[in-house]
């Protein structure tokens, strides 16, 4: 079949649909092969080939050379074979060129269907190949329609889906609105490639900053972590490879211009930009800003930190409905417990008193145990003999006696601790208890800091397995 403009058609379709021209040529060859079999039956041995020079798709029927013909569709006589090829012999396979104009209307329709199907499959493959490499990027689109809460977005060559769970709460999108979203995944199913989008993913926040802050794109500033509660608040940690460039200031921009662009894209989501620090204790202190930190007790084995803050900063550290402490924990990947200084001092004093109450322990021995990390009789009861004999003045027999005494005394120590707390609450009614902030404290701090719902429960770290770090050296952080 000779079509004068077949080359031009192939090139044009390849450009318009983004399909490789080789795929189109294969589709044409298979279509003609299907048409030939439709006309002459499935037994016929048909081969097709596209001629690049002439632009002709040639169709050949191959038949075996035999002396006596039993199957005319598959065999040719030796006499006829010699006319085609003087050198042929019995057993050879000869190909004869077929006139495709004899295929008929039904065969042509069959070829058309094959071409259409192949084109659709090739187009789906091209779209998938185009978007699979863009996974993890931000893409712009136009809202097309809403389908059961999901938003269908026109991405140009295909459509993407923004599931309801990936939408910012209380965000409304109308048809025709321009939308920016993060490509979470690219799926290939029978209906074609499915582009899954998100506006709540933490990496969406990081990519927005990459767009707004050139220093991040250039690699001068690195994003070390992000944590989000979509539509409400987010935290992002940044660090600089250049000591002359302040990472927080670069992300905020002149008069907050850079970060405000991100805030507007996220529909008013408040963003805390903090400085990352290699010292995890200082990193946590930065993440809890703007609260001031008195000290941090680190339990590396359980990857948790106990953060002690001044009483007046307790509600700020925890945040409204525990938001600040929750985001800081996600950002730093540490379990964080926040308690006030008064509660911490009271707990430590009760623990010291429980040590002093044990038989055979005087002030000197209690101070020694306290310095070694045994802050209460309960912790002393959970100690091992090997740990205690490392302390000067304690032998194996003495260690066994101390452990047994502390174990037997632990219930009484808890009772005394509870009584002491109740007495302290009666003496200081304005102090926040372990479950909530006093109403007077909430009213006083309502304008300056988020409301606090509840305080993290204090967890005693394992003996000898904690480090204490002051929060005074923590770096300042940026907040918008």
Give the pLDDT confidence of 243-262 residue by residue, as tens digits: 899 999 999 999 999 999 99
Measure the CA–CA gap between 81 and 340, rounded to whole angstroms. 102
How buried is residue 343: exposed, middle or buried, by Cβ count under 10 Å (0-12/13-18/19+)? Answer: buried
Model pTM?
Answer: 0.65
Residue 372 has pLDDT above 60, yes or no: yes
Instruction: Please work out, in degrees rounded to the nearest 5, the angle formed at the alpha carbon of residue 244 by the alpha carbons of 242 and 249.
Output: 95
Lowest-pLDDT choice from 52-66, 75-89, 100-114, 350-364: 100-114
The mean pLDDT of 277-286, rounded to a whole number, is 94
Q: What would the pLDDT profile of 40-71 be if each residue is shown by its tens digit? A: 777 788 888 877 777 677 788 888 888 778 77
The mean pLDDT of 435-452, rounded to a whole number, is 37
Question: Which residue, 180, 224, 442, is CA-closest to 315?
Answer: 442
The encoded tokens of residue 383 equal 């100690």
DSSP assignment of 36-66: HHHHH-TTSEEEEEEETTTTEEEEEEEEEEE
Measure the CA–CA gap between 427 and 22, rounded to whole angstroms. 87
Question: CB-based contacts of 322: which residues, under 8 Å, 6+ apart?
Answer: 452, 453, 454
- Cα 457 to Cα 287, 304, 307, distances in angstroms: 20, 13, 11
Strand partners, 221: 240
Distance of CA 407 to the CA centre of its chain: 46
Specify whether the CB–CB gap between 101 and 21 falls below 8 A.
Answer: no
Using a pLDDT cut of 70, give the percent of the chain over it: 81
The encoded tokens of residue 221 equal 């500033």
Residue 114 has pLDDT above 70, yes or no: yes
Q: Please, what sign has the CA dihedral across residues 258, 260, 263, 267?
A: negative
What H or E segment, with its residue span, contains residue 438?
Answer: none
- Cis status, amide bond into 43, omega within 30 of 0: no
The mean pLDDT of 181-205, rounded to a whole number, is 90
Measure the CA–CA gap between 10 and 5, rounded to whole angstroms. 9
Using a pLDDT cut of 90, give the percent of the chain over it: 36
Instruction: Please work out, in degrees rounded to the nearest 5, the angle formed at the alpha carbon of residue 291 by the alpha carbons of 289 and 292.
Output: 110
> Strand 159-162 to strand 138-147: parallel, antiparallel, or no bridges (unpaired)?
unpaired
Residue 17 has pLDDT above 50, yes or no: yes
The encoded tokens of residue 458 equal 């204090």
pLDDT of residue 74: 79
> How is residue 167 annotated by DSSP?
S
Task: Report phi then psi at 89, rounded to 5.
Answer: -140, 170
Average per-residue pLDDT in the chain? 79
Domains and CATH numbers, the chain: 6-130 (3.30.1480.10), 134-200 (2.40.50.140), 277-480 (no CATH)
Q: Pick the residue with more confidence: 431 or 56? A: 56
Specify whether the CB–CB gap between 428 and 262 falls below 8 A.
Answer: no
């Amino acid at each position: 079949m000779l079509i004068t403009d077949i080359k031009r058609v192939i090139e044009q379709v390849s450009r318009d649909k983004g399909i490789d021209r080789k795929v189109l040529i294969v589709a044409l060859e298979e279509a003609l092969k299907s048409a030939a079999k439709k006309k002459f039956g499935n037994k016929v041995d048909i081969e097709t080939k596209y001629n690049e020079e002439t632009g002709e798709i040639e169709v050949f029927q191959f038949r075996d050379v035999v002396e006596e013909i039993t199957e005319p569709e598959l065999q040719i006589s030796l006499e006829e074979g010699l006319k085609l090829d003087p050198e042929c012999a019995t057993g050879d396979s000869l190909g004869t060129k077929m006139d495709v104009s004899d295929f008929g209307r039904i065969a042509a329709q069959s070829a058309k269907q094959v071409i259409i199907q192949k084109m659709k499959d090739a187009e789906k493959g091209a779209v998938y190949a185009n978007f699979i490499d863009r996974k993890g990027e931000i893409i712009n689109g136009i809202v097309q329609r809403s389908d059961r809460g999901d938003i269908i977005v026109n991405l140009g060559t295909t459509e993407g889906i923004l599931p309801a769970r990936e939408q910012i709460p209380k965000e409304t999108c109308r048809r025709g609105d321009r939308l920016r979203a993060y490509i979470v995944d690219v799926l290939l199913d029978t209906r074609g490639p499915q582009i899954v989008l998100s506006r709540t993913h933490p990496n969406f926040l990081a990519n927005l900053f990459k767009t707004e802050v050139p220093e991040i794109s250039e690699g001068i500033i690195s994003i070390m972590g992000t944590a989000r509660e979509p539509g409400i608040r987010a935290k992002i940690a940044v660090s600089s490879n250049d000591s002359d460039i302040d990472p927080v200031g670069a992300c905020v921009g002149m008069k907050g211009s850079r970060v405000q662009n991100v805030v507007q894209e996220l529909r008013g989501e408040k963003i805390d930009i903090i400085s990352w620090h290699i010292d995890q204790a200082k990193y946590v202190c930065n993440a809890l800003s703007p609260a001031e930190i008195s000290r941090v007790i680190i339990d590396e084995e359980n990857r948790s930190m106990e953060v002690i803050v001044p009483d007046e900063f307790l509600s700020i550290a925890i945040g409204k409905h525990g938001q600040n402490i929750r985001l800081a924990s996600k950002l730093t990947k540490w379990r964080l417990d926040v308690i006030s200084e008064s509660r911490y001092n009271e707990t430590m004093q009760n623990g010291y008193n429980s040590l002093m109450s044990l038989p055979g322990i005087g002030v000197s021995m209690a101070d020694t145990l306290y310095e070694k990390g045994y802050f209460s009789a309960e912790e002393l009861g959970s100690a091992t003999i090997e740990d205690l004999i490392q302390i000067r003045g304690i032998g194996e027999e003495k260690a066994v006696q101390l452990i047994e005494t502390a174990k037997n005394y632990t219930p009484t120590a808890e009772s005394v601790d509870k009584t002491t707390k109740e007495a302290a609450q009666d003496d200081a009614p304005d102090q926040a208890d372990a479950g909530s902030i006093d109403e007077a404290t909430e009213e006083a701090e309502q304008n300056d800091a988020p409301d606090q719902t509840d305080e993290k429960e204090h967890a005693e770290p394992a003996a000898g397995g904690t480090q204490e770090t002051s929060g005074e050296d923590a770096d300042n952080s940026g907040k918008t």
